[in-house]
A and B are shown apart, each in its own frame.
Chain A
Amino acid sequence: MQLSQKSQTVGSIHFLLNGEAVSVSDVAPTATVLNYLREERACTGTKEGCAEGDCGACTVVLAELDNDELSMKSVNACIQFVPTLHEKAVYTVEYLRQQSGELHPSQQAMVDCHGSQCGFCTPGFIMSLWGIYNDHQVLGTKANKEEVRSALTGNLCRCTGYRPILEAAEKMFELPEVSFDHDGLKRDLQKLRALSNEEGLGSDNINTDGVSSTSLSYEYNNEHFFAPRTLDELLQLKSQYPEATVLAGGTDVGLWINKQFRDLPTLIYIGEVAELKQCNKTENGLTIGASVTLTDAYKAISELYPEMDQMWERFASQPIRNIGTLGGNVANGSPIGDSMPALIAVGATVTLQSVGGLREMPLEDLYLDYMKKDMGVDEVVVAVTLPIPAKFQRFRCYKLSKRYDSDISAVFAAIAIELDENKVSHCKVAFGGMAATPKRASHCEQSIIGSAWNETTAKQAMQLLKKDYQPLSDMRASDSNRMQSAMNLLYRFYLETRLDSPLQKEQLDVFSTAGGVV
């Protein structure tokens, strides 16, 4: 199995485990980091609670160099495949005790605040806390309450009710400081790169600037894992192996292995493709590369569309956002994915590419039917582009689910209008959870466009949603509730954007009433 002539490859996976260099060449490409840690490395502090990235008992911290900048983030080990660790560093709870045997402040604070009961979720919480501790310690700052809560959205605890854990998160910053050697890790990761370059290129060709010039091409038991570094390589591979599974964050593909027992003999991992890791803002809009994580996409998009803030905060959990990609969410095209309706409502486009060329289309055109996309077998999603918001655009998106954190929407509404005087000149209404695909509400939109933005228009448009959608009943909501909620969310949008004494967000959204105690 060879890549195209030009590229150099390396056949074993090199990474740092709790600071020590490890090379792996004898695990399946779909072996999860969790199973590897527990079964091969006796790192049993990392637990399996669900094997689908929803409970956080397996939380570990991943570190990598991104353009020579060190980034560290919490991720779920249960849905992360071992080859994705290549040239990265992974930290587990076993790393945290200090040389002296003393606990790390994140651990000591949890002991002091009685933050553990059964203790099974605790190592996962500790790793999430350790992550924010290190982020702040290096800056000499303390995490605020919102940051702490956000960092813990991926960790479920069934015993404590969370209050003592939140208390510990504050308390850890008051204990004697323990610093993490970021520079040392950076050097170690650079060395690691040099090592794998050496293996790929031969010792005569060592690339001294520390930039990776080799791609991982890993094989075990006739299963393959490719991690191309350039878009060219990626497109070549996809053309050569059209049946291959494209892997980005793995937040869905991980479940295909753990829960559906699918065979995935060939994986092409796009997380190392330099061109796809970029966010570019021009006067035409903001382009998000397909392997930009949701966390990074959030940062970039929020500058343009602060109205999406709550959506991002409620989009899965922080560890999932740290590894999952916007491109993956879009390419997967689930009818209940949150990003698509929001992107469609603001007029985003998606760019597909293959060796044959490049196509850009409005995002909604990608979705043909339930989990069916207008995408060639050799095509990959390379980017999503959001336009610069129109000056008089009023845009909101609303998520409705049983739980605030990390839940899948029963209904997701995204609505954007532009007003010309008091008349609506443009309108896009897109819903998730209402049809087999993320879909625009054309009847509803048509009735709004050209009308005065008033109660009559809104109420009429609400009724027309019944023409646009025939939602299903499932465990998230009944068909009738979905329809009623969709109509009411449109009404909420009207109340929030009407010209005459619009209601404030705090008057409409229970989650915006910060504190809120009378």
Chain B
Amino acid sequence: MPEIFSAKVTKKTAHASHPHESAELHVSGEAIYTDDIPELAGTLHAALGLSQKAHASIVSMDFTEVLASSGVAAVLTADDILGRNDCGPIIHDDPILAEGVVQYIGQPMFVVVAESQLQARRAAAKATISYEDLPAVLTHQEARERQSSVVPELKLVRGNPAAKLAAAPHRTKGTFEVGGQEQFYLEGQISYAIPKENKQLLIHCSTQHPTEMQHMVAHALNLEFNQVVVKVRRMGGGFGGKESQSALFACVASLCTYHLKRPVKLRLDRDDDFMATGKRHCFYHEFDVGYDDNGKILAAKIDMTSRAGFSTDLSPPVATRAVCHFDNTYYLSDVEIGALCAKTNTQSNTAFRGFGGPQGAIAIEYVIDNIARDLGKDPLEVRRLNYYAASASSLEQDGVLSAKISDTRDTTPYGQQVKDNVIHELTDQLIESSEYQQRRDAIWEFNQSSPILKKGIALTPVKFGISFNVVHFNQAGALVHIYTDGSILVNHGGTEMGQGLNTKIAQVVANELGVSLSAVRATATDTSKVANTSATAASSGADLNGKAAENAARTLRLRLSELAAQQLGGVAEAVVFSGDQASVNGQSIAFNDLVAQAYLQRIQLWSDGFYKTPKLKWDQSALQGSPFYYFAYGASVSEVIIDTLTGEWKLLRADLLHDAGNSINPALDKGQVEGAFIQGMGWLTCEELCWNAEGKLTTHAPSTYKIPAVNDCPDDMRVELFHNPNHEETILRSKAVGEPPLLLSFSVFFAIRDAIASVGGYQHNPPLQAPATPERILDAVMKTKALSTE
């Protein structure tokens, strides 16, 4: 049963399951998203004209009919961009509007501005474009053959993998394809740009990265950063899709506003959103792994090829994270990992929850699954055998720990020592709570007597590195204002996309100042408040901004402590803030009264706070260092049933156990865990991106692209947090929780593979690729049967 909250119950502010700060606004429809902001008089609406060719020169664009269409105010093209025609976050190869050449079907070429959105969209469809086809590369495999990539191949080598492979008694060699994934944020991309005096602009944008939007708009319009303000109160989902790729829309809306001197809103139709924007990278893995008779991995070599799309976008850091997560929870002594960001004439793929981590980690899980079946073992046994060594104690101090353990199966291929490993105890706990062994036996029995339907089960582990792989992104700022009535406003650089960041930040501030949660309000992210912010990404939102907010609140607490000590006697260090009052020397003063006094005493009642993650170092060229402050862990067990005639399947039960440290808000964290699990399950099963022979994405709406729906959620779903206060001094000893649990969904895929293996007496490795659609499952069933009759 859920916990019920009411004003009467006083609750701890931190480490307690408070509802999302906007929950009441969500359910009442009163929460304001960008498209809900009351439109200013004179607002115009924009729509994009998209390329119909995968790769072609633009010979001509005729807008006669567009301009004659009702309600149309203007058509703008790349020629109207005064500044830099680019919205690439790292490399400047990402045109806002196509210039001379189009590089994928769906690329924005021009923008139509009209009185209404429907008028703009109808008009945009009337343009006559003449193209001259150029050769197009449509798949990442094809691009690899041509060695066509957006950046040079990444390569990480440790030990002597070639020699160890050659000497290994057993090898598993093969390929594995894992598909991409559309973010499918329910609120599509949107920007609403409003002209201000002196060429300034205010942009309401659904984005995870307001600062980058500010920069991109300024570059495009030749403005100073201080002329552009970007605001976001909340997003209707982001999932990485609004990290870099909200920029194109912010730039286009701003461009229109700049030229027309009227407010302009660009809200994408869902189909256009699918066609224009990038998705999770699909990966093609070629692996060769050597192991001993027990299944212990002796050497591993993998070549990863990701589909970067037509431009660089975030593909290199995504590939880096894939490389840094190939190990998952396993010690790989001798290893060679290559990653190529293949350049294709398709959408430019981008961030999506996990950021390459899931694509890298699933490869080693596939390998382990192969090894186990080749040896006739339960994959779980092989998994545990290869786990990183247990850390002496996850709470032990660093120095002591690293002195004790050196080079004992605890260093990642990229050179970071794993000091907080809890996967052994976490796995043990889950095996017991999920009754893994009994169910495995029962499934074997079931499969013996069930001719058509087969069941499968899998337990898969997760280790996920927390921090941006780029050291300088790991910084954050916050502002805390205490008003004279005692109410508190907190502003920080993170953005709210549903994950509950603002709730956690408010909890942190309330906890620090000892006030009720209801006294603290978090406000819209705004580039004119906290400047130079990092993206809300890499699961880092609460870690970074929570610490910054805590620091700001701590400054205020210290100031108020001194005042309280003056007024109540005692020393400032002894003042305790709790229960909406400050207490010292056996006396108390209400927080409100103390604040009112502070104002009269001319004590500054607002403060900034700053935070940078310690201990990070990373050499991108060598792919070595300690890129992560700590790791988050988890494991899951899934049980499925498949139909060997059609490939249909159903998830029967899922047990999730996840390490969120000392959770600030267990309810929100559980929400992240189970939500990520189902989302990951979608990625690995029903969500399939298809491009046709011309390079056109044919799954570009919810009618053709199927994210999990209500009946995909199993009746029996058990979600628990693993109690494990962070050994690092993170915010309230919690752990980041946005991305890591997405990898819990691996167990669904491998349970399906287990079920398929039953048709070949568990003797053969089903050649199952992801996503495991009914078609792929049936295909793997037939191939596995064929193998067993050979």
Contact = CB atoms under 8 A, between A and B. Distances in A.
Nearest to B236: A120
Interface in A101-121: 103, 106-108, 110-121
Interface in B174-194: 183-188
B323 to A, nearest CB: 28
Contacts of A25: none
Contacts of A145: 715
Contacts of A75: none
Contacts of B38: 42
B7 interface: no
Interface string A26-39: 00000000010010
B645 A488 contact: yes
B14 interface: no
A211 interface: no
Contact of A96 (B28, B675, B679, B703): B28
A159 B452 contact: no
Contacts of B17: 114
Contacts of A122: 26-27, 29
A107 B27 contact: yes
Given A114-B671, A259-B271, A511-B650, A107 B28 contact: yes
B639 interface: yes
B678 A162 contact: yes
Interface string A122-149: 1100100000000000000000010001
Contacts of B185: 118, 120, 158
Nearest to B70: A221
Contacts of A401: 706, 774
Contact of B497 (A57, A118, A489): A118
Given A118-B236, A517-B639, A475 B699 contact: yes
Interface centre among A38, A106, A120, A503, by most chain B C-beta atoms within 10 angstroms, is A120
Contacts of B711: 149, 153, 404-405
Interface centre among A38, A93, A145, by most chain B C-beta atoms within 10 angstroms, is A93
B164 interface: no
B453 A118 contact: no
A120 B22 CA distance: 11
Nearest to B771: A402
B450 A161 contact: no
B773 interface: yes
B674 A163 contact: yes
Given A503-B451, A507-B450, A161 B778 contact: no
B652 interface: yes
Contacts of B183: 158
Contacts of A117: 20, 498-500, 671, 675
A111 B24 CA distance: 6
A352 B27 CA distance: 46
Main secondary structure of the interface of A (DSSP, over half): loop
A71 B411 CA distance: 66
B373 interface: no
A488 B452 CA distance: 11
A478 B690 CA distance: 11
Contacts of B270: 49-52, 55
B129 interface: no
Contacts of B719: 163
A403 interface: yes
A161 B677 contact: yes
A78 B443 CA distance: 45
A470 to B, nearest CB: 18
Contacts of B701: 50, 52, 54, 259
Interface centre among A113, A161, A408, by most chain B C-beta atoms within 10 angstroms, is A161
A159 B738 CA distance: 11
A92 B698 CA distance: 33
Q: Which 7 A-B pairs have the closest CB atoms?
A: A45-B29, A118-B498, A120-B236, A119-B26, A161-B678, A93-B29, A117-B498
11 contacts: A50-B270, A50-B702, A114-B2, A116-B20, A123-B27, A156-B707, A402-B688, A405-B711, A410-B775, A485-B775, A515-B715
Given A57-B186, A510-B641, 17 more contacts: A45-B28, A48-B35, A49-B186, A49-B188, A50-B701, A112-B19, A113-B2, A116-B26, A118-B234, A120-B236, A123-B27, A160-B675, A162-B708, A163-B674, A166-B713, A492-B646, A503-B451
